[in-house]
Structure 1
Amino acid sequence: MSSLLRLATAGSVDDGKSTLVGRLLYDTKSVLADQLDAVTRASVDRGADTPDLSLLVDGLRSEREQGITIDVAYRYFATPKRSFVLADTPGHVQYTRNTVTGASTAQLGVLLVDARNGVIEQTRRHAAVLALLGVPRLVLAVNKIDLVDYDEGTFEVIAKEFTDHAAALGYGVGDVLSVPVSALHGDNVATRSEHTPWYTGPTLLEHLEEVPVAPDPHDEPFRLPVQYVIRPRTERFPDYRGYAGQISSGTVRPGDEVVVLPDGHRTTVTGIDTADGPLEEAGSGASVTLLLADDVDIARGDMIAAAASAPEVTDEFTAALCWLASKPLKPGARVLVKHGTKTVQGMVSELSARFDEQKLTVEDAPESLALNDIGRVELRTAEPLPVDDYGHAHRNGAFLVIDPASGDTLAAGLVGAPLSALGVG
């Protein structure tokens, strides 16, 4: 069976990201005939001689009319060597929150720049977000290389600037690849371009097929946030009690010893039920109902975890926040913290640092965090939460900060993620 690579794209507006994603889908024959026909007709209506492949991914009518991408969309394609799940994220700075969402599960990030403009502010911001989220590898696609006459010197200057920036964020030499591409014409996307004989590296698709896949969430410690307690109380199942949820990481088998958090009661898994029948093993991403040996008091929001590697249960922790609201965050702000299936009241007791993703510097004890700022904070919650360090278990180390009044998402948070993880501070 071929391996799976999860990747996310990011780039500034008009860098050609939608065209690049459309080109990947087209060149891997992942487009249905009727889809291509519809795009061809729409392209002709616009006066184009060839299909505008960006229309394959700008699916919303408002997006097509404006020529932009405004939401995260997941694209699926495959080659004989590997399957891919691609999170296509928007480029506008006000949609940085969507980039955080799309990159949260990525094993590789593809950043686009326009060869005429090079590395810009949004490029550096996206690279910092990917570094903060622990995305282990980056590709810089220097797009529209045809518009600079396939000039090697232009490409080399851009590639060096980005590689130096990525190195300052903690990426090693082998973690970053720069590729000169023309998404419009297909140069170095799936096929090697005769216009860039000076480029000897892989095409973008070749790299995606061969790049090592990061550790699988199945290898992380077992965590299951409980969504429902199932008690049918029927004649057929008079004593049935199951605990349903989606496994956020790790694997579980009947006979495994687990701990129920936050109370800390230990018990043993006796069965794994699903809509398709019982399982002998279930892993990350699976929606299951666990049966336990003991009649334990469990409610929605609790967590069932591997007893040998349980997360810390605490009501105070350090976290990195990517602030996503127009209203600044100040110390003492009262918020809601959504972790797993549980939402509790909380307070930002301290702003300890703010990371400048442009200058790669850290400001200690800032007065506030503004829209798209990345900062380190101290959080206190009204109830203890079973949290992991983000680097240890991504999904159980992530949380959302919510406005108690409006219900709007204010920030994406990473437990224990120090700004030194970005290579600074």
Structure 2
Amino acid sequence: MTGTTIDTLRFATAGSVDDGKSTLVGRLLHDSKSVLADQMEAVEHASLSRGKDAPDLALLTDGLRAEREQGITIDVAYRYFATPRRRFILADTPGHVQYTRNMVTGASTAELAIILVDARHGVVEQTRRHAAVAGLLRVPHVVLAVNKMDLVGYEQDEFERIVEDFAGHAAEAGLPGFTPIPVSALVGDNVVDRSAHMDWYAGPALLEFLENVPVGAEAADAPARFPVQYVIRHGEQRHYAGQLVSGSLRVGDRVTVHPSGETSEIAAIDVLGAAAEAAYAPQSVSVRLAGPRDVSRGDMITAGPDAPVLTRDIRAAVCHLADRPLRVGDRVLVRHTTRTVKAVVEELAGAAELSVNDLGRIRLRTAEPLALDDYAVSRRTGAFLLIDPADGATLTAGMVDLNDAG
């Protein structure tokens, strides 16, 4: 080891049924040498028993096939692998429309989404839905993987037609841009190795792109946001522990505590039990403020010129996750970072109710103010969950829109 830090890319995959997503993920794992020998032997044995001449790489990721055949809901499967250049956390999400909520779960922390389409069918309704979810969640990078190019003769015109079609939907979904890559997961074209069948394509293979795409969407110079998770008492002193979700803090920085609005100064910072002069997102730290302050779990310590908006009126885009519908007048709990407050659903734009997997817009009135950032600015302090106060079940995922005038 040279001491160089290897970073981590979180990415999610999404595709319609039979677009070849399981094969693509299997090929990515196999060709990047991220499959153990005994796993490969099991796949080869299973493939032979099913009458296949070659290993079915989809079996590397299709361990939930039995559950699917029984009609059991499939959750997001997380897979971990690494290359010499980067570590990867892959959120493998189901493709059916009834699993939109699973894609929201998987993509909510992703810095990149791979949207897969079948070259024979092009952009379909579920492709448009996946683009809408990626836009809603402000995923920083999107790859359009046009799969099964071998079945359309590796034709450049077919690829360009699909890219042009998707571009229109991407613009409507608010995607800042996307990178199109023609692939054949079954054969291995442009997944890990460059394809010999598409000399008209000059771009990177999929893994090459994943290894080089920038990570760390929220810059270190972003405003500091430190939700307090625990209050630790050492005699007369109080230390506030949690994760610094954006920006940085230094000893001596002037800070504001929300929602009280009290101001103070950072007197000390501890990182992993050792004193430090500075802390950077996403480190977990504890801080001590100058002088006694009334700070509790759920408060947010902030620094920098761009203060969060303190409000009881929340307007947001949402995806409803629960089987029970959400209606105007419902009383809910809003969980935002480490703070949980009571709220009432005051408006559902253009809808009488939201059912499971529905995307929509909402207006909430909270009992206490929350310190919010726009989701477009911060995916951590601009996101929230709605919780059922009766049983604690998660109802809805929300993305704050401070620019929504109603």
Specify which of 196, 205, 208 is matched with residue 206 of structure 1.
208
Deviations 1:349-370 (A, max 9, x none): 1223xxxxxxxxxxxx333333
Once the 2 structures are TM-superposed, how far is the Cα of residue 217 of structure 1 from its aligned partner?
4.9
Once the 2 structures are TM-superposed, how far is the Cα of residue 276 of structure 1 from its aligned partner?
4.7
Assess if the C-alpha contact under 8 Å between 2:34 and 2:81 holds in 1: yes
Assess if the C-alpha contact under 8 Å between 1:254 and 1:270 holds in 2: yes
Q: Tell which deviates more after alignment, 300-309 or 335-344.
A: 300-309
Q: Helix, strand or coil for the counterpart of 2:353?
A: coil
**1:70 is aligned to 2:74:** yes
- 1:343 to 1:156, Cα distance in 2 relative to 1, 3 A: same
- 1:220 to 1:50, Cα distance in 2 relative to 1, 3 A: farther
**1:186 is aligned to 2:171:** no
* Alignment partner, residue 162 of structure 1: 166
Give the whole-Å Cα distance in 1 for the aligned partners of 2:363 and 2:51.
Answer: 55
Once the 2 structures are TM-superposed, how far is the Cα of residue 113 of structure 1 from its aligned partner?
1.4
**1:341 is aligned to 2:345:** no
Deviations 1:44-66 (A, max 9, x none): 44444433333333455855977
Number of residue pairs matched? Answer: 402
**1:317 is aligned to 2:321:** no
* Alignment partner, residue 113 of structure 2: 109
1:134 partner letter: R
Deviations 1:212-256 (A, max 9, x none): 44633534221121121112xxxxx53342111122212222222
**1:288 is aligned to 2:285:** yes
**1:376 is aligned to 2:380:** no
Q: Helix, strand or coil for the counterpart of 1:391?
A: coil
Deviations 1:316-345 (A, max 9, x none): 121111222344333222211111112211
Once the 2 structures are TM-superposed, how far is the Cα of residue 402 of structure 1 from its aligned partner?
1.7
Once the 2 structures are TM-superposed, how far is the Cα of residue 35 of structure 1 from its aligned partner?
3.5
Assess if the C-alpha contact under 8 Å between 2:134 and 2:175 holds in 1: no
* Alignment partner, residue 251 of structure 1: 248
* Alignment partner, residue 12 of structure 2: 8
Once the 2 structures are TM-superposed, how far is the Cα of residue 25 of structure 1 from its aligned partner?
2.2
- 1:222 to 1:351, Cα distance in 2 relative to 1, 3 A: same
* Alignment partner, residue 32 of structure 2: 28
Once the 2 structures are TM-superposed, how far is the Cα of residue 130 of structure 1 from its aligned partner?
0.6
* Alignment partner, residue 394 of structure 1: 379
1:281 partner letter: A
Q: Which runs of 5+ in 2 are unaligned?
A: none
* Alignment partner, residue 389 of structure 2: 404
Assess if the C-alpha contact under 8 Å between 2:310 and 2:371 holds in 1: yes
Once the 2 structures are TM-superposed, how far is the Cα of residue 88 of structure 1 from its aligned partner?
2.1
Assess if the C-alpha contact under 8 Å between 1:18 and 1:69 holds in 2: no
Give the whole-Å Cα distance in 2 for the aligned partners of 1:55 and 1:108.
Answer: 24
Q: Helix, strand or coil for the counterpart of 1:267?
A: strand
Deviations 1:101-153 (A, max 9, x none): 22223232210112232212111111001111112332111112223343444
- 1:73 to 1:276, Cα distance in 2 relative to 1, 3 A: farther
TM-score normalised by L of structure 2: 0.88
1:375 partner letter: G
Give the whole-Å Cα distance in 1 for the aligned partners of 2:73 and 2:164.
Answer: 28
1:342 partner letter: R
Q: Helix, strand or coil for the counterpart of 1:296?
A: coil
Deviations 1:283-334 (A, max 9, x none): 2222222122222122221112216433122111211112223443332222
Once the 2 structures are TM-superposed, how far is the Cα of residue 201 of structure 1 from its aligned partner?
2.9
* Alignment partner, residue 125 of structure 2: 121
Give the whole-Å Cα distance in 2 for the aligned partners of 1:417 and 1:15.
Answer: 37
Give the whole-Å Cα distance in 1 for the aligned partners of 2:310 and 2:167.
Answer: 39
Assess if the C-alpha contact under 8 Å between 2:23 and 2:185 holds in 1: yes
- 1:228 to 1:12, Cα distance in 2 relative to 1, 3 A: same
Once the 2 structures are TM-superposed, how far is the Cα of residue 81 of structure 1 from its aligned partner?
4.3
Assess if the C-alpha contact under 8 Å between 1:259 and 1:307 holds in 2: no
- 1:169 to 1:345, Cα distance in 2 relative to 1, 3 A: same
Deviations 1:28-47 (A, max 9, x none): 22333344344334444444
Give the whole-Å Cα distance in 2 for the aligned partners of 1:280 and 1:241.
Answer: 18
1:408 partner letter: A
- 1:40 to 1:384, Cα distance in 2 relative to 1, 3 A: same
- 1:218 to 1:52, Cα distance in 2 relative to 1, 3 A: farther
Once the 2 structures are TM-superposed, how far is the Cα of residue 193 of structure 1 from its aligned partner?
2.0
* Alignment partner, residue 102 of structure 2: 98
Assess if the C-alpha contact under 8 Å between 2:271 and 2:279 holds in 1: no
Assess if the C-alpha contact under 8 Å between 1:227 and 1:245 holds in 2: yes
* Alignment partner, residue 196 of structure 1: 198
RMSD over equivalenced CA pairs, Å? 2.8
Give the whole-Å Cα distance in 2 for the aligned partners of 1:417 and 1:190.
Answer: 41
Assess if the C-alpha contact under 8 Å between 2:347 and 2:364 holds in 1: yes
